[in-house]
Amino acid sequence: MKIHEFQAKEILRKYGVAVPEGKVATSAAEAEEVAKSLGTPVVVVKAQIHAGGRGKGGGVKIAKSPKEAGELAGKMLGMQLVTHQTGPEGKEVHRVLVEQGLDIAHEYYIGIVLDRSNGKLVFMASTEGGVEIEKVAAETPDKILKEWVDPVAGLRPAQARKLAFGLGLSGDAFKNATKFLHSLYNAYVKTDASLAEINPLVVTKSGDVLALDAKMNFDDNAMFRHKDYAELRDLDEEEPLEVEASKFNLNYIKLDGNVGCMVNGAGLAMATMDIIKLAGGEPANFLDVGGGANVETVENGFRIILSDKHVKAVLINIFGGIVRCDRVANGVIQAAKNVKIDVPLVVRLEGTNADEARELLQKSGLELKVASSLEDAASKVVAALA
């Protein structure tokens, strides 16, 4: 799950990670109020959308007075902010974060991610603050310091010191940085984060160390122990069809093509998208209906797929292992009767009782094409586009 910068900072603050003073605002007047209460000569107004690269898109501005902060917020709120991560249509700004301005001496990068190759969390630190870490990794990999954390020992003080020394810090900044690293690690573990990125981390002229920006993602699998995080979800940031699908426990991801697909199993769903492309079509979505594939899930799947007006044909690909194909066929037939399907439908069922299933489909009186293999299914659905 992704959250906004202001939410990430509120969480980090709770865990003792230093962040600038600030508050979120949803109107120009509110932004002006926040700026006034901060009382610093300069404040920063930051558009709150999930995408990165906001500064370059005009989503981060400096104001020299509360009045100016209000004006800037007024312009930002409601605008379609375009960054390299939003796509050309941009994202509408619904909130701004108004923060104290800081007397910055230097900017750094700090991140924690899971290193999948060894199953350990890894701290990454770099003196190249404000630059995308992927860019630094590609161009100057030697500028990234890494420390892998043993889960039994946790982040050891020696590791925190190594990172802080590695960044060239000394004095108060050094002490504050090691404290920052420990607090950040604690926050990551306690919140079941899947990513924590502080870019930039800043050291002020007086030696304070703060998270000027903060990005946190959470592990969806751990939500059962963080029920309060559900309210941090911002549905405005998500594709409406995906939100709708999630209500039915369907795993749906919208893509740009015109062949809708409904599959059981994530791997087979990806493979089905791939073979559609190989056959000359473009997949319109990823949809894993899971193990059940009963009338209800298939019906909801149809509704979601067909709400995408780009869809010109639909392919159902189910491998019935434990689930019997004849049952799935009955589900498909029933669902197809309940939902008005005005595009060609190709169905491929394989596995237990596949022959009976094909017969059921053929006798159903529905206008659908029955495919015998994965390849046959892909070529039939692509042919149906013409």
Partner 1 sequence: MSVLVDKNTRLLVQGITGGEGTFHTRQMIEYGTNVVAGVVPGKGGQKFDDSVPIFNTVDDAVRETGANAAAIFVPPPFAADAIMESADAGVAVIVTITEGVPTMDMVTVKAFLDARGTQMVGPNCPGVISPGRCKIGIMPGFIHQEGRVGVISRSGTLTYEAVKQLSDLGIGQSTCIGIGGDPIIGTNFTSALKLFNADPETDAVVMIGEIGGTAEQEAAAYIKNEFNKPVVAFIAGQTAPPGRRMGHAGAIISGGEGTAAEKMQALREAGAHVCESPATLGITMQKALA
Instruction: List interacting residues with partner 1 (CB under 8 A).
Output: 114, 116-117, 119-121, 133-134, 137, 150-152, 189, 192, 194, 219-222, 224-225, 251, 253, 255, 263-271, 273-278, 283, 286, 288, 319-322, 350-352, 373-375, 378
Q: Which is nearer to partner 1, 12 or 269 (CB)?
A: 269
Could you tell me the smallest distance in angstroms from the CB atom of residue 271 to partner 1? 4
Q: Decide if 306 contacts 252 (C-beta within 8 A).
A: no
- To the nearest whole angstrom, how small is the minimum distance from the Cβ of residue 261 to partner 1? 11
- Candidates 30, 108, 109, 188; catalytic one: 109
Q: Give the separation between CA 53 and CA 36, rounded to whole angstroms.
A: 27
| Shortest reach from residue 264's CB to partner 1, in Å | 6
Q: Quick check: is 21 catalytic?
A: no
CB of 27 to partner 1, least distance (A): 31
Cα-based distances in Å from 325 to 100, 112, 332: 62, 45, 10
Tell me how far, at minimum, the Cβ of 335 lies from partner 1, in Å. Answer: 20
Closer to partner 1 by Cβ: residue 112 or 167: 112
Work out whether the CA dihedral 191, 197, 199, 201 comes out positive or negative: positive
Phi, psi for residue 202 in degrees, rounded to 5 = -120, 145
Alpha helix segments (H runs only) across the chain: 5-14, 28-38, 66-76, 133-139, 157-166, 171-190, 240-247, 266-278, 295-307, 325-338, 354-363, 374-383
Is the separation of the CB atoms in 85 and 56 below 8 Å? no
Phi, psi of 75, rounded to the nearest 5 degrees? -75, -40
Residue 44, beta-bridge partner list:
62, 99
Choice between 73 and 328, CB closer to partner 1: 328
Which candidate in 5, 99, 197, 299 is catalytic?
A: 197
The region, left, alpha or beta by phi > 0 then psi within -120 to 50, assigned to residue 20 is beta
C-beta of 169 vs 347, nearer to partner 1:
347
Between 114 and 385, name the residue whose CB sits nearer to partner 1: 114
State how far the Cα of 207 lies from the Cα of 173, in Å rounded to an integer.
4
**Residue 134 or 231 having the CB closest to partner 1:** 134
- Residue 229 a catalytic site member: no
Nearest approach, Cβ of 167 to partner 1 (angstroms)?
A: 21
Give me the residue label for tokens 């189910």. 318
What does the block give as tokens for 341? 């399907």
Catalytically active residues, by annotation: 109, 197
